[in-house]
Amino acid sequence: ISICRDLPNIEVITFSVNGISDLEPLNQCQNLSELYLRKNNIASLNELFYLKNLPRLRVLWLSENPCCGSDPHRYRMTVLRNLPSLQKLDNQAVTEEELSQALVDGEEITAPPARSVENGCPESTESSAAESTTETESELLNFSLEETNKIREELGMKPVPRDKFSSFSPRETDCNRKKRNNVLNAILLLMKELDVEGLEIIQQTVGRRLQAFRKKELQEE
């Protein structure tokens, strides 16, 4: 998600099921209008502090994160109190009545969350263990494929077939798989910032690289 620091004009971000816990890289994305972060490791609603100054944010999908807690009403009211410009939260339309009620029932967030420094894969042992009990490899793949193809559709590209996307080794760790998905999503997001000339350069480079891979596969056979 750190790639977003270099994408101030990005409008739509889809990073569901990616072990994300820190929203600070998004606070400069002033044109962001849609943000999809389902099933990540966002532990505190204080992360909303980084979204409060995004004037165009209208759609947020934050469900199935630890920060949602056990009280759905308090969670929704707190999000809407701090992000009153939202039109849709967790795929549910926001009403004027909810926005008024949020001023009473929601908690005002005035500071970013306290953060501890971790190394390696950006998710704690506890959250990894919790996720492993609720997410199967198939579910992770479905979410990643869905979000990737959403971005490709927005870019006018053909969707990735499932048999081409599911080339991960079954022994590959969740951390490595998510990193690879993050790289793919980052590349697709960066492509949205390019003009025709830049996209043509990418196309030529990818074509040469694909030819090299195919040549190598034929030699190995």
Question: What percent of the chain has pLDDT above 90?
Answer: 38
- Render pLDDT for 167-197 as a digit per residue (tens, 0 to 9): 444 444 555 666 666 667 667 767 766 778 8
Q: Please check the confidence at residue 149 and state whether its pLDDT lies above 80.
A: no
CA distances from 60 to 10, 83, 94 (A): 15, 10, 11
Would you say 28 and 2 are in contact if contact means Cβ atoms under 8 Å apart?
no
DSSP-derived 3-state class of residue 144: helix
Give the total residue count for the chain.
Answer: 221
CA 61 to chain centre: 10
Q: What is the pLDDT of residue 194?
A: 72
Q: Quick check: 152 and 184 in contact, CB under 8 A? A: no
- Tell me, what's the pLDDT at 212? 80
Burial 184-195 (b: 16+ CB within 10 A, else e): ebbebbeeeeee
10 Å CB burial of residue 171 (0-12, 13-18, 19+) is: exposed
The verdict on pTM exceeding 0.85 is no
Domains of the chain: 2-105 (3.80.10.10)
Contacts of 60 (CB under 8 A, 6+ apart): 34, 35, 37, 51, 79, 83, 86, 88, 89, 90
CB-CB contact of 60 with 89 (8 Å): yes
Mind listing the pLDDT tens digit for each residue in 13-63? 888 888 899 999 999 899 999 999 999 999 999 999 999 999 999 999 999
> What count of other Cβ atoms lies within 10 Å of the Cβ of residue 52?
15
pLDDT at 132 over 50: no
